[in-house]
Chains A and B, each alone.
Chain A
Amino acid sequence: MTLASAPAQAGIDARRLGQIEMGDTLAARNSRLAVGDNIVVRIRRSEGSATYQDFQVPYQKWMRVLDVLNWIAENKAADLAYRWFCGSKMCGTCAVRMNGREVLACWEAAEPKMTIEPLRNLPVIRDLIVDRTAYENKVAQLEPWLERREPYPPFPEPLNHKQMKDASKALDCISCMCCYSACPVIGLGNLTDFAGPAPLVQLGQTALDPRNDPDKVKRSLQLTGIFNCVSCYKCEEVCPAGIPIVSRIIEPLKAKAAQLVPGMAKHSFALRDIVAARGRVDPGALVLRVQGLRALANMSRLIRLLVRGKINPLKTLFKIKTAATEAAGRILRAGVGK
């Protein structure tokens, strides 16, 4: 990566460094293509083993990725397979990866050079079309609907915005699979039982609804492997519907899981107890409590950690009080049982 070394300026914002260099501004986006320019497009085709095919597409005003695909299908490759239906960010069928980023073809402006590929983490049927069966099966398995055992008041049932604040965010989902493609844990295949962001959002629509039967929510949550989420926020970054997937769906679902199925959140309770007792995390104590004797199985690793001073068994065995201990104990113990 080559970076222009601009002189230091007052009022610099480190969180935005790169926005101008990477053309991440409205002005840059509006000026990068002019009518008549040639767009260089490389599309992943699936004849035989995966191959790429190159196209030159004349830019027309307001051209989106979808318009580029339509132009290619009409003029150069009638056999190009891609999905779209509404063309207006509603149906969620046209998601692809453009230059390594998950986008809706109908909503993303064309760029001068584009590599267009199918979404990751789902089998490719042909060209840009992926097989959504795995996702749909998972969602069905999670039973994303309301179940109510107790009698409830007739319509209009009292329900306020605050009670529905997270579930209502989940209802914005258009099932486009961008998040599923961007999720690094899903990218590891069957290594864990993590359901993935898209199925969790579908579950969140009803599991975060206060009217749902807790036993039913519990059953669903047990099938999610939700504590395998690494909290990387990659799903939020690509969501075309702007759903705060980690903060407003996965975190509240984790909270529900901790409440309804405490065994799933064993490590969270271990961390809380350690912080309450010591003020800070002692990594040795945490791993020992979460993994038990399994933590001692890799002796050579333990010895290496000891030699480099990475762990301190004395600290782990004898809870050395720190200046933070008193405050943590008071604040966290008061919360227990609430």
Chain B
Amino acid sequence: MKFAYYPGCSARSTCAELNEATHLVAAKLGLELIQLESATCTGARELRAIDPVGFYTLNVRILALAESHGLPLMTICNTCTLNVLDAHAAFVSDREFAVSINARLAEEGLHYSGRTRISHFLWVLHENIGEQRLRELVVNPLTDLTVAAFYGCHITRPPLQYGFIDSRNNIALEKLAEVLGCQPIDYSGRNECCGFHTAAHDERVAIKLTGQHILSAKAGGAQAMVTPCPLCHTVLDGFQREIEKDVGQKLDMPILHLPQLVGLALGLSPDELNIDRHMVPAGALKAYAAGAAKGSRR
């Protein structure tokens, strides 16, 4: 199975471990990823407000790059996913607009026909690999590991668009965690927002919001949280020291990128998955993985 792969900016800078883990896990899963090297940023949430034409052009260009390989597009960041989905929708709904964007893309010999299928890694796991195949590939079931699934916003909302159901009813991450052997816990933060998109100019909103979610995950008994989005990861993990100060207690909640959790179950070691590159030390998880290797849990 082959995908055009768009890692986005975070996974190539602050969350480089996510990109590396995705490549390692893809190899285990038999996914061939063609990384789109010349793809630009999708504009985060900022660009659409000040330069909508630039925003749509950058995103349609990414879809056109995938099309030039004749491949579906795989993303690993929620906000990037919604940006390309929004751009695709704008492109196919307005013919005049589509023609004008293609004229811009023609300058470098690219063309978008509106047919690139967009899929986040979480969706690829369910839809292309499938639960059954995943179960066969799990060599190190993460038995007894309690995880809190943190979805983030942009791969479950806006509601009732792009095939989304009521985000509060989506259980794709919990289902996946179960397949990997984990015990997903229920907690109030699962569909909530990490506040990343205002953090560049004011970190307080992100710190306050995310503090509630980590506390609720902790109260629910989670040993780790897992997220399909590097932006959520940046807040949950990167700001955790500041969050601890704000809530007035030590949290020590390891935050895993989705491919890292999958990788652990597929037999990759915490070191290979670069869990130490996170801001929150994942000692507990490493001890867990070491125990798993010795088979002490079974």
Contacts and interface: CB of A to CB of B under 8 A. Distances in A.
B172 A17 contact: yes
A331 B153 contact: no
Contacts of A16: 163, 165, 170
Given A233-B157, A268-B46, A280-B12, A184 B41 contact: no
Interface of B: 9-10, 12-14, 16, 37-41, 43-54, 57-58, 61, 86, 104, 107-108, 120, 122-123, 125-127, 130-133, 153-159, 162-172, 174-175, 178-179, 184-186, 192-193, 195-198, 200-202, 204-205, 208-209, 238, 241-242, 277-279
B127 A12 contact: yes
B44 to A, nearest CB: 6
24 contacts: A1-B184, A1-B186, A5-B179, A8-B130, A8-B133, A12-B131, A19-B165, A191-B205, A230-B193, A236-B158, A237-B159, A258-B50, A266-B201, A271-B43, A279-B40, A280-B41, A281-B9, A283-B13, A283-B14, A290-B201, A305-B279, A310-B14, A322-B37, A332-B54
A303 to B, nearest CB: 12
Given A7-B132, A228-B198, A323 B53 contact: no
A1 B57 CA distance: 42
Given A185-B205, A265-B49, A283-B14, A327 B193 contact: no
A246 B172 contact: no
B235 to A, nearest CB: 10
Interface of A: 1, 3, 5-8, 12-19, 21-22, 24, 101, 184-185, 188, 191-192, 227-234, 236-237, 244, 246-247, 251, 254-255, 257-258, 265-272, 275, 279-283, 286-287, 290-291, 301, 304-305, 308-312, 315, 322-324, 326-328, 330-332, 334-336, 338
A324 B277 CA distance: 26
Nearest to B89: A247
A86 to B, nearest CB: 25
A236 B166 CA distance: 11
Among A184, A244, A255, A258: residue with most chain B CB under 10 A: A184
Given A247-B86, A255-B49, A291-B201, 5 more contacts: A18-B175, A184-B195, A192-B205, A233-B157, A258-B50
Contacts of B104: 331, 334
Contact of A265 (B37, B50, B179, B238): B50
B21 to A, nearest CB: 14
Contact of A272 (B46, B178, B242, B279): B46
Contact of A330 (B107, B170, B192): B107
Contact of B184 (A3, A101, A267): A3
Contacts of A328: 40-41, 58
